Amino acid sequence: METIQKKAEEGITSELALVQAAKKGDLEAFSELVRRYDRNVFRIAQHITHNEEDAQDVVQDAFLKAYQNLEQFQGNSKFYTWLVRIAVNEALMRLRKRRNDRTVSLDEDVETEDGSIPREVADWSPNPEQLYGTSELGDILKKTIQGLSPGFRTVFVLRDVEGLSTEETAEMLNLSVPAVKSRLLRARLQLRERLTRYFKNKKGGDGQQ
């Protein structure tokens, strides 16, 4: 009967099929959705909270909330988009709690011009990968992105690390497309500015630019 058509559509509809099955209480289907996206949710949560314990809680709570609210998922957007939206909100909530600060939001620091005008104009040569060991480089990258405001680093992570489109990012964060673009530009420029300070200094006083 439907089997042939079903098979043909499997590639495209499998995520939706899993969601539909999970809505009916098929835990195995939901378990597959968890496996598909847990790494991404963990990474995003770590970037926002900068705390592994919080990130673990975010992963658990985001998937549980998604499961409990599956009925509300209409299928107009991708399940992943919907899931990340839940995860970002959970992560911001954790960050607020830890900082004991209710003002943490995606709108924080949007007016700042810090780093938006390049001051460090030195090329990176040779590439940082050749200058640093993996773990040392990882520490620099973490430290640098942690210096961005939550709003900036969330946009940067979704767009440039997770590789989502501007439109998807806007939908996930409930921001307009121009707002995402403007935050992305400033996030990229601020990171560039700060990394240049590292990668330039590494060469020390050898006079090279």
Partner 1 sequence: MKCTEFLQELTDYLDGKISENLKIELDEHLHWCKECHVVMNTTKKTIEIYRDNELYELPESLRSRLHDAIMTKCRGSKAGKKPTS
Separation of CA 142 from chain center: 13
The yes or no reply on residue 133 touching partner 1 (CB under 8 A) is no
| DSSP type of residue 34 | H
The yes or no reply on residue 130 touching partner 1 (CB under 8 A) is no
Q: Which of 13, 31, 176, 208 binds partner 1 (CB under 8 A)?
A: 31
The yes or no reply on residue 181 touching partner 1 (CB under 8 A) is yes
What's the closest the beta carbon of residue 63 comes to partner 1, in angstroms?
Answer: 5
Rule CB under 8 A: which of 100-129 touch partner 1?
116-118, 121-124, 127-129
Q: Which class for 128: exposed (0-12), middle (13-18), buried (19 or more C-beta within 10 A)?
A: middle
d(CA 172, CA 168): 6
Burial 157-195 (b: 16+ CB within 10 A, else e): bbbeebebebebbbbbbebeeebbbebbebbbbbbebbb
Q: Which two tokens stand for residue 139?
A: 């520490």
The yes or no reply on residue 78 touching partner 1 (CB under 8 A) is no
The yes or no reply on residue 69 touching partner 1 (CB under 8 A) is yes
**Which positions lie near partner 1, rule CB under 8 A?**
22-25, 27, 30-31, 34-35, 38-39, 42-43, 46-47, 55-56, 59-60, 63-64, 67-72, 116-118, 121-124, 127-129, 134, 137-138, 141-142, 145, 156, 160-161, 163, 181, 184-185, 188-189, 191-192, 195-196
